[in-house]
Each structure stands twice: as structure tokens, then as C-alpha cells.
Amino acid sequence: MKQRMPALMAALLLCASALAAAASAPSPYADAEAAVRTAYADYRTALFMTNQKDVAASVGAIAAFRDKWSSLTAAWRKVPPPQYAADPALAKTLATVAAINDEAGRIAAAGDLAKAHEVLEAIRDEIGALRARNGVASFSDRMNAYHEQMEKILLDGYDGFSPSGLARLRDDSAVLAYLAETLAGAKSSLPPDPALDAAIGSIAASVKNLRGALLQGDLARIREAVPALKGPYSKAFLRFG
């Protein structure tokens, strides 16, 4: 047995080394999603800045996204990531996102930031559709679903909060509450971060506040709670969405 121990130890060490190498090896799947997240951070900034009426910052963020998206496109044209390699519309999506961004850049440079923001919104849909048709789920997709429902609530006057309007708002807020819950489940796709937990908590709290006001029938509080949904989401989107 003593003579066999060195060989056994060598085998164990070799196995451990192989496992460590595998753990540290790059993952084409993960690397591709990380590249999208990196570019998407500049896209989020562009959306935020066009809402802040800052022309210089908007143009800069749009240009930063353009550069990162161009690098991503060049790399993916050479070697498509495994999750998108079989997608016949991949090249079209890459080109469409670039074209939308270029159009938004020209509009922003001319000073029409509201229009630039509207044009930029289409990029979110393109990237979301790319993921959806290839079975890829991300935290951003959950944020986008929440955003769509939140925008519906923000833009609907609910007939001046009439009884029938409040009934619709209760239904819409129930959907929003469900979508807020999905954010917590989707955060595992991002690195652990207490700030992310706090951001999701703030979103959930804003929905809970609206739901509580509806339960109590407090019209004044309801009128305040509806627009108050936007702040927590915007902060979370800018950093993590």
C-alpha cells in the first residue's frame, strides 16, 4: 500500500488540477452574455440620459454603446456563441440594433432627445426577441416585462380613478406585483450584490405601497403611489437592468 500511495496522490492531484482548470476555463455561453451585459450598460445610460435632456451625455452614451456593439458584432460574426449559433436571424438582429443606435445618435446630436429616446427603446425589443427565440432568459428580460406593465399603469388615467378605473388598476397592479416577484428569482443570472437586493426591494416596496393604498381605498395615496413606481425602477434599471 505504501508503494501505491505516491501514484494515488499523483492521480488525485492531477484530477484536482483538471477540475480547477475546467472551473477557470472561459465559457463561450457565459462570455457572450457578459459581452451583451457590458454593452447594455451603455445602452441603459443612453436611455437614462435622453430622458434627462443632456445632449452631450446622451450622444456620448450612444457612441459608447455603438463601439461595444461593434466589437461584439465583429466577434460573433467570426464565431457565433453557442446559444445563438443556430439562429438564422442573428446577423439581421446585430445589424438592426446597430442601425437603430446610429439613427438615435443622429437624432440626439440634433437635439431631439425625446425622439432619440423613443428610437432607442426599439433596441430593448430586438435584444429581448433575440434571447426569447433562442431560449435565453436574463434579468434584463424580467426588468423589461416589469417596465412594460409599469408604463401601462403610468400612462392609463384609469378614468380619473373612478370606481371602474380603480377596479382595472387593482388588476393591473396585481400583474405588476407578480412581475416584481420574478425579479428576485431572476437575479441569480447576475453576480451577488447587496445593492441589487436593495434595488429589487425598493421596486417591490413601491408596488406594495400602491397595493396597500388600493386596499384602503385611499385616493390621495393612490394618486401619489402610481407615479412613485417610476423612481425605484429607473434607479434599478440604470445600474442593473
Distance between CA atoms of residues 241 and 234, nearest Å? 9
Is residue 213 situated within a structural domain?
Answer: yes
Report the run of H or E that residue 78 belongs to, with start and end: helix 55-78
Among residues 142, 202, 186, 151, which one has the least CA distance to residue 172? 151
Of 101, 120, 136, the domain-final residue: 136
Asked if residue 90 and residue 164 are part of one domain, the reply reads no
Pair 74, 114: CB distance under 8 Å: no
C-alpha torsion angle, residues 58, 63, 69, 70 (rounded to 10) = 160
What is the reported pLDDT for 16?
37
- The answer to the question of residue 15 being in a domain is no
Whether residues 67 and 94 share a domain: the answer is: yes
How many domains is the chain built from?
A: 2
Residues 128 and 206 in one domain: no
Amino acid letter for position 223: R
Q: What is the rounded distance in angstroms from the CA atom of residue 58 to the CA atom of residue 42?
A: 10
- Domain with 216, as residue range(s), is 138-241
| 10: in domain | no
142 and 234 assigned to the same domain: yes
Looking at 116, 136, 156, the residue that finishes a domain is 136
Q: Within this chain, do residues 222 and 148 fall inside the same structural domain, yes or no?
A: yes
What's the CATH number where 60 sits? 1.20.120
Cβ contacts of residue 39 below 8 Å, gap of 6+? 65, 68, 69, 72
Asked if residue 157 and residue 103 are part of one domain, the reply reads: no
Q: Which of 87, 109, 136 is the C-terminal boundary of a domain?
A: 136
List per-residue pLDDT tens for the chain, 241 residues long.
Answer: 444 434 433 333 333 333 333 334 458 888 998 899 899 999 999 998 998 888 999 999 999 999 999 999 999 999 999 999 999 999 999 999 999 999 999 999 999 999 999 999 999 889 989 998 998 878 888 888 899 999 999 999 999 999 999 999 999 999 999 999 999 887 877 778 899 899 999 999 999 999 999 999 999 999 999 999 999 998 888 788 7
CA torsion sign, 109 to 114 to 115 to 121?
A: positive
Residues 214-238: tens digit of each pLDDT: 999 999 999 999 999 999 998 888 7
pLDDT value of position 23: 35
Which residue is associated with the grid cell 443570472?
A: 189
- Specify whether 126 is located in the same domain as 142: no
Cell numbers at residue 49, please? 440620459
Q: What is the CATH number of the domain that holds 231?
A: 1.20.120.290
53 with 70, same domain: the answer is yes
**pLDDT score for 94:** 97
